[in-house]
Structure 1
Amino acid sequence: MTQVAELPASAAEARDHVHALMATCPRPCGEDALTDALLIISELVTNAERHGGGMTGFRARVTEDHFDVTVEDASPAHPTLPGERPAGSVGGYGWHLVRRLATSVAVTPTARGKSIHVGLRLR
C-alpha cells in the first residue's frame, strides 16, 4: 500500500500527487484507470475549492487493485446532481461524473464540513 496525505495547493498539484502515487502501484494499472483517477481528483479538489469553502483534508491511497481518495472541505452541503440544480445553472456535472466512474462513493458530515471518500477499482 502506498499513500499520500499532503494537502495539495491546487487540483493540478493533487493530480501530480495521484499520478506519482499510481506509478508506485505494485501492479501497473491501465491508462483508463489512471485517467479515471485523475478526473475524480480534479473534480473533488476543484469542487472543494469552488463550492466547499476550501479543501481541509486530502488522503489518497493505492493498493494492488484499488485507489481510494478522501477530500474534506469546509462546507456541510452535499454535492448536487444536474437535475437538483435550478434551471439555467452553470456547471454541476462533475459530481455525476465522479459517481459514474467510482466503484464506491460516501459523503460524511464532519465537525468542520464534510468528507467525500471515493473508491476506484484499478483492474
Structure 2
Amino acid sequence: MTLWHSGGTLSGVPDNPAEAREAVDLLIEEPGEACPVALRGDIMLAVSELVSNAEQHTPGILCFTAAVHGGTLGVTVDYAPGGRGDFHMSSRAGYGWSIVTAVAASVTATQPLTGGKRVRVLLRLH
C-alpha cells in the first residue's frame, strides 16, 4: 500500500484503482463524515476513473491526495508527463472522464510547468 492516512488526509500513490477506492472509503467513513450510499457510489466511481485514466493514458500517478473539508471531499491527482495522449475537459473526452464530470461538484484540470496534468475534483459528501 502506498497511500498514507493522517489527520483526515490521504496522500501517496495508489497501486491501482481498488487501493484508491478503499483508502477514500475509509477516509469518508470517519466520525462526522457519514455519506449516503448513493453519493458514496458516485465518489468511488469518480476515484476509480481518475486512477484508471492514469493507468491507461499516462506513465502513472505522481501524487494522489484526498481530504475532507466541510462536507466536501477534495481529490487531487497529479499525472506524470508523457503517455498516449492528453485528456481534456470537453465533449471529445472519453466515457470515464464524462462520468467524473457528471458526479463532481467541481472539476479543474491544469498543466503544471513541470509537465503532466493536475486534476482537482470536489465531491459532495451530503
Moved more, 7-16 or 22-31: 22-31
Residue ranges of structure 1 left out of the alignment (5+ in a row):
86-91
1:42 and 2:61 equivalent? Answer: no
Structure 1 distance, partners of 2:65, 2:56, is 19
Provide TM-score, normalisation by structure 2: 0.83
Q: 1:25 to 1:45 in 2, by over 3 A?
A: farther
1:79 and 2:87 equivalent? Answer: yes
Structure 1 distance, partners of 2:65, 2:103, is 19
1:87-122 Cα shifts (integer Å, max 9, x gaps):
xxxxx2000010010000000112131100000111
- 1:1-123 → structure 2 map (5 Å cutoff): 2-75=8-81, 78-80=86-88, 83-84=91-92, 92-110=94-112, 111-123=114-126
Identity %: 35
Structure 2 distance, partners of 1:26, 1:15, is 19
Residue ranges of structure 2 left out of the alignment (5+ in a row):
1-6
How many residues in Structure 1 have an aligned counterpart in Structure 2?
117
Structure 2 distance, partners of 1:82, 1:112, is 20
